Amino acid sequence: MIERQKKSIQCLSDVTEYMLHAMSKNGMDTAQVSRLPEFSVLIHFLKAVIDGEMQVPNELADRIKEMGDHLDIDTAMNKKLN
Protein backbone atom coordinates (compact mmCIF):
# COMPACT_ATOMS: atom_id res chain seq x y z
CA MET A 1 0.00 0.00 0.00
CA ILE A 2 2.77 2.44 0.89
CA GLU A 3 4.37 1.97 -2.53
CA ARG A 4 1.07 2.81 -4.26
CA GLN A 5 0.69 5.90 -2.06
CA LYS A 6 4.20 7.07 -2.96
CA LYS A 7 3.49 6.50 -6.65
CA SER A 8 0.19 8.40 -6.35
CA ILE A 9 1.89 11.37 -4.70
CA GLN A 10 4.62 11.41 -7.36
CA CYS A 11 1.98 11.29 -10.09
CA LEU A 12 0.09 14.19 -8.49
CA SER A 13 3.32 16.18 -8.29
CA ASP A 14 4.07 15.50 -11.96
CA VAL A 15 0.55 16.39 -13.11
CA THR A 16 0.58 19.60 -11.07
CA GLU A 17 4.00 20.58 -12.43
CA TYR A 18 2.89 19.97 -16.03
CA MET A 19 -0.33 21.88 -15.49
CA LEU A 20 1.46 24.89 -13.97
CA HIS A 21 4.02 24.80 -16.79
CA ALA A 22 1.22 24.92 -19.38
CA MET A 23 -0.40 27.83 -17.55
CA SER A 24 2.90 29.70 -17.41
CA LYS A 25 3.53 29.00 -21.09
CA ASN A 26 0.20 30.67 -21.82
CA GLY A 27 1.01 33.79 -19.84
CA MET A 28 -0.62 33.02 -16.50
CA ASP A 29 0.98 34.01 -13.20
CA THR A 30 1.32 30.54 -11.67
CA ALA A 31 2.32 31.87 -8.25
CA GLN A 32 -0.95 33.76 -8.08
CA VAL A 33 -2.98 30.86 -9.50
CA SER A 34 -1.52 28.39 -7.01
CA ARG A 35 -2.79 30.54 -4.12
CA LEU A 36 -6.40 30.50 -5.32
CA PRO A 37 -8.85 28.37 -3.34
CA GLU A 38 -10.13 26.95 -6.63
CA PHE A 39 -6.63 25.65 -7.38
CA SER A 40 -6.49 23.93 -4.01
CA VAL A 41 -9.83 22.24 -4.71
CA LEU A 42 -8.59 21.19 -8.15
CA ILE A 43 -5.52 19.56 -6.64
CA HIS A 44 -7.69 17.65 -4.16
CA PHE A 45 -9.91 16.44 -7.00
CA LEU A 46 -6.87 15.39 -9.05
CA LYS A 47 -5.56 13.46 -6.04
CA ALA A 48 -8.93 11.72 -5.70
CA VAL A 49 -8.85 10.68 -9.38
CA ILE A 50 -5.25 9.46 -9.21
CA ASP A 51 -5.85 7.57 -5.96
CA GLY A 52 -8.92 5.93 -7.46
CA GLU A 53 -6.93 4.70 -10.45
CA MET A 54 -4.13 3.39 -8.23
CA GLN A 55 -6.48 1.76 -5.71
CA VAL A 56 -5.33 4.04 -2.89
CA PRO A 57 -8.09 4.73 -0.34
CA ASN A 58 -9.26 8.33 -0.53
CA GLU A 59 -12.23 9.64 1.43
CA LEU A 60 -12.82 12.49 -1.03
CA ALA A 61 -12.95 10.07 -3.97
CA ASP A 62 -15.57 8.04 -2.13
CA ARG A 63 -17.64 11.14 -1.37
CA ILE A 64 -17.41 12.33 -5.00
CA LYS A 65 -18.66 8.94 -6.22
CA GLU A 66 -21.57 9.10 -3.78
CA MET A 67 -22.52 12.65 -4.78
CA GLY A 68 -21.67 12.49 -8.49
CA ASP A 69 -25.09 11.45 -9.71
CA HIS A 70 -26.80 14.15 -7.67
CA LEU A 71 -24.61 16.99 -8.95
CA ASP A 72 -25.47 16.53 -12.66
CA ILE A 73 -22.13 18.13 -13.55
CA ASP A 74 -21.75 16.60 -17.03
CA THR A 75 -25.11 17.90 -18.22
CA ALA A 76 -24.59 21.37 -16.74
CA MET A 77 -21.03 21.66 -18.05
CA ASN A 78 -21.92 20.43 -21.55
CA LYS A 79 -24.53 23.15 -21.84
CA LYS A 80 -21.99 25.81 -20.87
CA LEU A 81 -19.13 24.49 -23.01
CA ASN A 82 -21.11 23.90 -26.19
Residue 81 has pLDDT above 60, yes or no: no
Q: Residues 62, 52: contact at Cβ < 8 Å?
A: no
- Ordered by start, the domain boundaries in the chain are 2-81
pLDDT value at residue 22 = 97
Q: pTM score, two decimals?
A: 0.72
Residue 71 has pLDDT above 90, yes or no: no
Q: Tell which residue, 32, 64, 69, has the closest CA to residue 48.
A: 64
Instruction: Please compute the mean of the pLDDT values over residues 65-82 and round it to a whole number.
Output: 64
Give the model confidence (pLDDT) of 13-64 as tens digits. Answer: 999 999 999 999 999 999 999 999 999 999 988 998 898 888 888 888 888 8
